[in-house]
Amino acid sequence: MLRPSTKARQHPDATASGRDIQEAVMVLVRPRYDAAASVFPGNDIVDEDIGEESLTVGEENSRFIFSPYDTISFCVAGLKVYIYVRKMVVDKESAYSSTPDRKGMTRHYKFNVVEKNFTRLCSSKPILTVNGQFPGPTIYAREDDTVIVKVVNHVKYNVTIHWSALSNFSHQAMSDISSNRLRPFCRHGVRQLMTGWSDGPAYITQCPIQPGQNYVYNFTLTGQRGTLWWHAHISWMRATVHGAIVILPKRGVPYPFPKPDEERVIILAEWWKSDPEAIINEALKSGLAPNVSDAHTINGHAGPLSSCPSSSLDGFSLRVDKAKTYLLRIINAALNEDLFFKVAGHRMTVVEVDACYTKPFTTDTLLITPGQTTNVLLTADRAAGRYLVSASPFMDSPLVSVDNRTGTGTVQYTNSVSTSAAITTTKPPPQNATPVASSFTDSLRSLNSKLYPAKVPLTVDHSLLFTVGLGVNPCPGCVNGSRVVADINNVSFVMPTTALLQAHYFNVSGVFTDDFPGQPPMPFNYTSSGPGNVQTMNGTRLYRLPFNASVQLVFQDTGIIGPESHPIHLHGFNFFAIGKGTGNFDHKTSPSKFNLIDPVERNTIPVPSGGWTAIRFRADNPGVWFLHCHFEVHTTWGLKMAFIVDNGKGPNQSILPPPKDLPAC
């Protein structure tokens, strides 16, 4: 195999351009490295070597991989050394000499959950991070690879990490996977045996990792390629504990779109000047809505147009070369806000969402809800200059307040303009631009090619209607004597204190019931202001599905308190978004407009404000799978439930035993 040369260089400035620094460097660290002593690795560098596509640093036998664009610092003989990883080799011909259908490899990562001080918006505070980074490290892998992440909790809070919509497999299932690995559709196949023990939502599939403890997440990326992400899945910790998962196609398998010259991960998020945990705790005490964030960030920065002058110096900047095409892997990690994304003067071609290829279409504005990812191609085809990148909120419910500040960054044409040249700006869509949002959503279609067909279930075994919305419950200690809650089919979900998957697997009774209503218990005119009584029921109720059942699920927004869009996320499955509409779903007329040919396949879908969205999926993944609004405030308020998918009768259709290090509650 051809190996490029190492060019790690010392420089004190982490943001130095580093364009001449080699893409990928592997550094092995001696086991003497003490994870508890330092946030960031390490002490002794034993060896430097070029990895094929990423920088590997870590303990012996437990390496982890750094991502392109990360800055890594470590000490050699008391001297601080920085390596700026410029980019990953995504398509070096020489790296593709192995056969395209080889088995996936195993990639090890180590995630130290640590507190670190960050300064944003002219003020500093400690935040929770993985490996001291915000956003956290990117996981790079290829389709079919197994990813093993050791998560070590160095902070005082309980922690869990969720690996967005990944199928989770055991080692035993690997042989099965390999025989199936050319299955071309966007997710795991029926014959593959899965375990949810690595899925991550606290008290759903696992008890949290307690302070000082660790847990090894182990999952295989079968039948998925594209951009996903990982995030803490407990309380509001995901505000800063999140990062990208980049799954490249198998070696030798091209993208189904023109090959980009370079790739870049872009993570949108929200920043609070105070501690997000304090914000939600305060809100729960008062019974009122939590404070909105103080900024939207693009790769961790509010950017050049933010209110804090020094923020303007460190905003996100995408350096582009004239005429080159860039694949942008954009993730909305914001807690509570749908975001529009624009690049001044440029159009983008959408090619993939939630790790499923789409029919390409061009647009100047993306809508990305929390939980969703969108891959676009952007060609640097404009006059040399600097162009504004904007991330601005979408909220078409006048009752709900959002952070109306626009997160900004720049696209900067290299070698032609100075970094202080005037920025060509763009106007973000108005906050309530429903037509912009729905025209984007309506443009999404599965690629549905021969290699990547849309396998939409054409028959339905379980037809469900879930109302999603808000309610008001009594709360003697609260400000108004009541609290705002959220629910599905009038059930505000109560988190158990034992993980549901364990309770299910070990037949522990008294933890949950499996009587979640498949239809609204009391039908009403959903999109009007609602019935007189807007109190909800509390319960840890699950909906049981037999293995391999095909499910049609209509989410119906309610007007209780006020209509509002909800980004609904389903764990464990991809689904097809077969239809949406305004007003109430009509069993007789609405289905006639369903798209069963090439509906977009994804794992998170917005239910329009005052409207409905219909999805279909096949329950071919035994386990307990969380379904919730990806607005963290609504999840906290109870807009969540879980499906139990029973084991099948076949040899590889049962949940496997839990790993030995599964945390105890």
Is 504 or 571 the residue whose CB approaches ligand C2O more closely? 571
**CB neighbour burial string for 160-173, b if at least 16 within 10 angstroms, e if fewer:** bbbbbbbbbbbeeb
Task: Kindly list the residues in this chain that would bind ligand C2O in the complex (CB under 6 A).
Answer: 162, 164, 201, 231, 233, 371, 569, 571, 626, 628, 630
- Which of residues 250 and 630 has its CB atom nearest to ligand C2O in the complex? 630
**Nearest-approach distance from CB 164 to ligand C2O, in angstroms:** 5
Least distance in Å: CB of 204 to ligand C2O? Answer: 8
In the complex with ligand C2O, which residue's Cβ is closer, 164 or 490?
164
| Burial class (CB within 10 angstroms; exposed 0-12, middle 13-18, buried 19+) of 368 | buried
Q: Are 39 and 116 in contact (CB under 8 A)?
A: yes
In 3D, which of 371, 379, 150 has the Cα closest to residue 262?
379
Could you tell me which of 572, 246, 268 has the C-alpha nearest to residue 394?
268
Residue 572 or 648 having the CB closest to ligand C2O:
572
| Nearest to 207, CA basis, from 487, 506, 570 | 506
d(CA 256, CA 245): 19
Q: Which residues in 638-656 are b (16+ Cβ under 10 Å) and which e?
A: bbbbbbbbbebeeebbbbb
Name residue 147's amino acid: V
CA distance 105 to 103: 6
**Minimum CB distance to ligand C2O, residue 634 (Å):** 12
* Residue 651 CB, nearest approach to ligand C2O (Å): 30
Cβ at position 2, least distance to ligand C2O in Å: 39
Q: How far is the CB of 231 from ligand C2O (least distance, A)?
A: 6
Name the minimum Å distance from CB 354 to ligand C2O: 11
Residue (346 or 630) nearer to ligand C2O, CB = 630
> Looking up tokens 């260089």, which residue turns up?
9
The 8 Å CB, 24+ separation contacts for 472-479 are: 472/534, 472/535, 472/561, 473/535, 473/536, 473/538, 474/535, 475/287, 477/285, 478/285, 478/286, 478/287, 478/288, 479/286, 479/287, 479/288
Structure tokens at 12: 């004190």
Q: CB-wise, 35 or 237, nearer to ligand C2O?
A: 237
Minimum Å distance from CB 15 to ligand C2O? 30
Which one, 201 or 559, has the nearer CB to ligand C2O? 201
Rounded CA-CA distance 352/600 in Å is 10
Q: How far is the CB of 630 from ligand C2O (least distance, A)?
A: 6
CB atoms under 10 Å from CB of 261, counted, come to 16
56 bridge partner residues = 26, 65
Q: Compare residues 208 and 530 and give the one whose CB is closer to ligand C2O.
A: 208
Residue 335 vs 454, nearer CB to ligand C2O: 335
**642: its two tokens:** 């879980």
CB of 468 to ligand C2O, least distance (A): 15
CA angle 352, 356, 361 (to 5 degrees): 30
Please name the helix (run of DSSP H) or strand (run of DSSP E) that holds residue 152, with its range, or none: strand 146-153
Under DSSP, is residue 311 helix (H, G, I), strand (E, B) or coil? helix
Name 625's bridge partners: 643
Pair of tokens at residue 2? 């051809």
Of 405, 212, 229, 413, nearest to 311 by C-alpha is 405
Element (H, E) at 302: none
Minimum distance of ligand C2O from residue 230's CB (angstroms): 9
Least Å from the CB of residue 51 to ligand C2O: 29
Closer by beta carbon to ligand C2O, 63 or else 640: 640
Nearest distance from residue 367's CB to ligand C2O, in Å? 17
* 651: Cβ contacts below 8 Å, ≥ 6 apart: none
Considering the complex, state which of residue 187 and residue 250 has its C-beta at the smaller distance from ligand C2O: 187
State how far the Cα of 603 lies from the Cα of 350, in Å rounded to an integer. 17
Q: Mapped to the 3 state alphabet, what secondary structure does 435-449 carry?
A: HHHHHHHHHCEECCC
Whether the Cβ atoms of residue 199 and residue 165 lie closer than 8 Å to each other: no
Identity of the residue, 260 or 371, whose beta carbon is nearer to ligand C2O in the bound complex:
371
Q: How far is the CB of 481 from ligand C2O (least distance, A)?
A: 32
Residue 571 or 618 having the CB closest to ligand C2O: 571
For the stretch 406-433, what's the b/e string if a residue is b when 16 or more beta carbons lie within 10 angstroms of its beta carbon? bbbbbbbbeeeeeeeeebbebebbeeeb
**Minimal CB distance to ligand C2O: which residue?**
371
Could you check whether the bond before residue 651 is cis, i.e. omega within 30 degrees of 0?
Answer: no
Least Å distance, CB 632 to ligand C2O, is 9
Describe the strand order of the beta sheet including 550-557 as a list of residue ranges: 537-539, 491-493, 482-488, 462-474, 550-557, 611-618, 575-582, 601-602
